[in-house]
Amino acid sequence: MKNILPAVLTLFSFMMISCGGGEKKEKFTYQTQKQKNTSNSNDNAKTIPVDMDNQGIGPIKDFTFEDSVNQELASIGEGVFKAKCTACHKPAQKFIGPPMKGIYERRNPTWVMNILLNPDEMLQKDPVAKALLEEYNGVLMINQNLTEDEARALAEYFRTIK
């Protein structure tokens, strides 16, 4: 976009000089086009579907949390996160991958467990995972060969991220 901007602007000044009547319309077209491009490159979050009923694909079925957070398990999860995930994820900010903060507002806990344990198949078949992959420029959420216990602890830790 940056490279063609001067050319587009030159074209406009030319059109403004040569045909005053058409100026307004062309300008409008350019602005809507520009807005469209900006939103496509910077704010794709909206294009990722939120489907709280989607449990994903993998070994976990109908997983739900206890009402209260298990702090001990969460701190084990934090340790796993620091060891295996921080190359690509920050707890509360977008990095190479998405932040984990607020994940249960956009994903079913079962889906989260399944993407941790079965990312390869999820990225091939699950509509949400596929959209994420596109948003993150094809960087794969790699299979870390987590045990189910590790995934469970991570899932608990995500509840505590503020």
Binding site for ligand HEC (CB under 6 A): 81, 84-85, 87-89, 96-98, 103, 107, 112, 115-116, 123, 129, 132-133, 136, 139-142, 144, 146, 154
CA distances 41 to 1, 27, 91, 141, Å, are 10, 22, 23, 21
Q: How many C-beta neighbours within 10 Å does residue 122 have?
A: 23
Residue with Cβ nearer ligand HEC (107 or 152): 107
CB of 113 to ligand HEC, least distance (A): 9
Q: How far is the CB of 45 from ligand HEC (least distance, A)?
A: 9
Nearest distance from C-beta of residue 90 to ligand HEC, angstroms: 11
Query: Which are the contacts of 147, defined by CB distance < 8 A and separation ≥ 6?
Result: none
Rank residues 5 and 50 by Cβ distance to ligand HEC and give the closer one: 50
Alpha-carbon span 144 to 118, nearest angstrom: 9
Nearer Cβ to ligand HEC, position 25 or 134? 134
Dig out the tokens for 16 from the structure: 């403004």
